[in-house]
Amino acid sequence: MFAYTVRRLGFALVTLWLATLLVFGALLLIPGNPAQAILGIDATPADLEALEARLGLDKPPLERYSNWLGGVLRGDLGQSIRYERPISELIVARLGITLPIVVASLLLATLLAVPLGILAARKAGTWVDVAVSTGSLVGIVLPSFWVGLMFIYVFIVWLKLPLPTSFPIGGWENPQRALAALVLPVLTVGLASASFLVRLVRGSVLEVLHQDYIRTAFAKGLGERVVLYKHALRNAALPVVTVLGLEFASLLIATVVVETVFGIPGLGSLSLTAISARDYPLVQGVVLVIAAFIVLMNLLVDFLYALLDPRVSYA
């Protein structure tokens, strides 16, 4: 297990390094330039040159990359070109908003999807199953920016619930208002994620219910409840846990859309700004952080797998 852990961590680090290379290369390839984004279209070539020199963009790419990577290894992500602030400070502030959304959405999705999925699997083929499956299909195909806007109209404009439509100016200074601002985004992301999860739970439980050992358990005369909770769900949980881990990462990215609709200054909207402003160090920093989350979740899933399924061996 120890050797496995070391190897796994090694892979994780290599993955992260490859991610830095990829994003740096991609930024070299896309057209556009941060100095122009800052100075605007009236800037003269002399203005641009002066700013590029100040930003260090006149140095060769390899030097820029190694400077940046060196900083990262020392724990310094550098300065944002656009915001003239330490990138770590910006990312931490934005994560403080995005992480609660992602975690709460995932929680909501799990609380909805697991019971509904089990219910649909147990009542497979009945109207309950059809209703759950259809509902989830609708949830999957509706784009989240549209769902978000509809929620604003239904809950705020029509029902006049006292919820803000965007994150309050001043942020967490007023925690109640800030939390209220996250209700609809969490609902939007959570429902979309639940729609996807519910099908997985249903499929997974259904598959397990068809296994021989379940038939054996029933044949032994065990009640449905015992069979379901003691035998079936533990096994059905495996793929669900895997997907939950990956879902965490994809929600981190899915927030881009929701944060735009709800005017939330989270990591998603930060990455969007960073890209459109060609704020290279900021894009690199955000990508690195998201990649780190993805790698971390994968590691966690692997270790959880080992706990849930003793048959998985780690030679």
Partner 1 sequence: MKKYLVGLLAFLGLGLGLGMAQQRGGAITIAIQTEPAAWDPTQVAGADISRVVYDNVLQGLVKRNPKGEIVPSLASRWTVSNSGLTYTFTLRQGVKFHDGSDFTAQDVLAKFNRARNPDTRASGHLRPDLYRDIANITSPNPSTVVFSLRQPNNDFLFILSRPESLIGPRQRPLAEQRVQPIGTGPFRFAGWERGVAVRLERNPNYYVQGLPYLDRVNFRFLGDGDAQLAGLRAGDLDVIAYSLLPENAVVLSRDSNFKVFSGSATAEAVAGFNNSRPPFNDVRVRRAITLATNKDELIQGAMLGYGTKIGSMRSPGEACYVDLSNFNAYNPDEARRLLAEAGFTNQNPLRFTFNLAAEFPYERRIGEAMVAQLNKLGPLQVTIQVTDFNTWIQRVFSQADYAMTIIGHVEANDTSNYANPRYYWRYNSPRFQQLYTQYLRAPNQTKACEALAAAQRLLAEDAAGVWVMSLPALGAYRARIQNWPDGFLTPAISVAEVWVRQ
Residues interacting with partner 1, by CB under 8 A?
30-33, 36-44, 46-47, 49-50, 53-54, 82-85, 90, 94, 149, 152-153, 156-157, 163-167, 169-171, 260-263, 265, 269-270, 273, 275-278
Q: Which is nearer to partner 1, 37 or 300 (CB)?
A: 37
Smallest gap from Cβ 315 to partner 1, in A, equals: 48
Q: Which is nearer to partner 1, 48 or 304 (CB)?
A: 48
Half-sphere exposure of 126 (CA within 13 A, CB side): 7
Exposure string for 254-284, b = 16+ CB within 10 A, e = fewer: bbbbbbebbebbbbbbbbebbbebbbbbbbb
Q: Which is nearer to partner 1, 90 or 192 (CB)?
A: 90
User: How many C-beta neighbours within 10 Å does residue 219 have?
Assistant: 9
Reduced to 3 states (helix: H, G, I; strand: E, B; else coil), residue 86 is: strand
Residue 70 C-alpha from the chain's centroid: 27
Smallest gap from Cβ 59 to partner 1, in A, equals: 16
Q: Which is nearer to partner 1, 164 or 239 (CB)?
A: 164
Smallest gap from Cβ 187 to partner 1, in A, equals: 15
Distances (CA, A) of 99 to 15, 245, 255, 267, 307: 22, 14, 10, 9, 26
CA distance 72 to 285: 9
Reduced to 3 states (helix: H, G, I; strand: E, B; else coil), residue 79 is: strand
Smallest gap from Cβ 164 to partner 1, in A, equals: 5
List the one residue out of 303, 294, 215 whose CA is nearest residue 16: 294
Smallest gap from Cβ 73 to partner 1, in A, equals: 26
Smallest gap from Cβ 178 to partner 1, in A, equals: 11
Q: Which is nearer to partner 1, 135 or 164 (CB)?
A: 164
Smallest gap from Cβ 252 to partner 1, in A, equals: 17
Q: Which is nearer to partner 1, 3 or 169 (CB)?
A: 169
Smallest gap from Cβ 20 to partner 1, in A, equals: 22
Looking up tokens 């929620």 gives 151
DSSP states along 211-273: SHHHHHHHHTT--HHHIIIIIIHHHHHHHHHHHHHHHHHHHHHHHHHHHHHTT--SHHHHHHH
Smallest gap from Cβ 103 to partner 1, in A, equals: 21
Looking up tokens 């780190």 gives 292
CA distance 206 to 116: 13
Q: Which is nearer to partner 1, 39 or 142 (CB)?
A: 39
Q: How long, in residues, is the chain? A: 315
Q: Which is nearer to partner 1, 118 or 270 (CB)?
A: 270
Q: Which is nearer to partner 1, 275 or 294 (CB)?
A: 275
